[in-house]
Amino acid sequence: MVGTVSSRFYRWRRSGVWQHVLEALQALADAQGRVGWELHFLDSTVVRAHQHAAGGRKTGREPGAEDEALGRSRGGFTTKIHLRCEGYGKPVTFTLTGGQVHDSTQVSALISRGAIRRIGRGRLRPTKMVGDKAYSRRSIRLALRKRGIIPVIPTKSAASPASTARHTVSATSASA
């Protein structure tokens, strides 16, 4: 069977080759002491898709195949990559969703997966988890603490009285 690069890529994905490559690289880095277990980071980014990306045929797909992670947001068709990185910036695990999905919905998937294989039991938990205000929910903080992880996430705060006063002063001076 003569195949193209893309057909080989998809075959390898189906058979789990890429997952094995990632796990082997993570285990090697951990054995060499190049995995930062003190801090792990959560974040996401949006990738724009081509305007015709969602128009593909639904027939001919593998049985049980999931839909593409495409969503419609203000920027058109987008995919969001939710990522957990270890302390030195290497990816541990990720999820893909449509671009309109909020970051906080993927936290449980990101913290429950991503055990780095080592001799004996794999290690899953960092000491601290860092995230931006998108992860500032009480339920996320409790879930992290329940797993023995210290959350390092800024809280969402209401507008401070000083900024409200500045806004009021500038609004009234602009209308005068």
What are the residue ranges spanned by the domains of the chain? 36-51+71-155
In CATH terms, is domain 36-51+71-155 a member of 3.30.420.10? yes
- Report the half-sphere exposure of 43 (CA within 13 A, side-chain side): 12
Please state, as a whole number, how many other Cβ atoms lie within 10 Å of the Cβ of residue 110: 23
What is the full per-residue pLDDT of the chain (176 aa) written as tens digits? 567 898 898 899 899 998 899 888 988 888 888 989 899 999 999 988 877 666 655 555 555 555 677 887 777 888 899 999 999 999 999 999 988 899 999 999 998 887 787 766 666 789 999 999 999 999 999 999 999 999 999 988 754 555 455 555 555 555 55
Residue burial 130-158, b: 16+ Cβ < 10 Å; e: rest: bbeebbbbeebbebbeeeebebebeeeee
Question: Rounded to an integer, what distance in angstroms lies between the CA atom of residue 121 and that of residue 163?
Answer: 51
pTM score of the predicted model: 0.73
- For helices 5-15 and 17-31, the axis angle rounded to 10 degrees is 70
